[in-house]
Amino acid sequence: MYFAFEDKFNLQNFINCKDINKSTIPRFSTSPLLTSSQIYFQQSDPNEMVYFNSTDNIDGDYIISASVNHSPDDWTGHDPRVETFFSHLNEKYLKDLRDNKAYLMLDQSLEGYQTPWLWDYFHQQCAEWKVSPIRMIYVTGNMIADDVYEKWANDNNVI
């Protein structure tokens, strides 16, 4: 698996976003799923995860990962007080997402929020930013998110 970072040393993306949530933590941070996977693969297969700088030319699909903190109102951009997460991606990332060379992983695995508007918002943003929804990976601690998304997708003729 290939991963790209704007700050490779700290495994972070969205580094130009200075938004702070109400609890004083950044809107975006290092993915807990990534760090857990890193620990696992260091022990079993240290070559499984390869990290690149966001400016590197990467031969193959790669993942742009970030943790998103708090409720989706605080990090998506659905609430007009913050800009959409897409607006904080650098131009290379946006181009590679549009060219189907990258995946954007938004990791909310430490939270379990589910809001009724989330799937609509993701798909609207993907259309607006010309990124295929297939290039989005949303990780959540909500154990019924798959079922909720499947119902939404069926109701909206997405699947």
Per-residue model confidence as pLDDT tens digits over 22-43: 889 999 999 999 988 887 787 7
Q: Of 17, 11, 117, 18, nearest to 72 (Cα)?
A: 117
**At how many degrees (to 10) do helices 118-129 and 91-98 cross?**
100
| Of 113 and 86, the one with more pLDDT | 86
pLDDT of residue 131: 98
Neighbours of 139 (CB within 10 A): 19
CA distances from residue 40 to 36, 43, 52, 98 in whole angstroms, order as listed? 6, 6, 19, 31
Residue ranges covered by each domain of the chain? 2-155
pLDDT in tens, 126-152: 999 999 999 999 999 999 999 999 999
pLDDT of residue 23: 86
**Residue 112's pLDDT band (boundaries 50, 70, 90)?**
confident
Q: Of 129, 128, 124, 120, nearest to 149 (Cα)?
A: 120
The mean pLDDT of the chain is 92
pTM: 0.93
Find out whether 104 and 64 touch, Cβ atoms under 8 Å: yes
Q: Report whether pLDDT(120) > 90.
A: yes
Residues ≥6 apart with Cβ < 8 Å to 114: 140, 142, 144, 145, 148
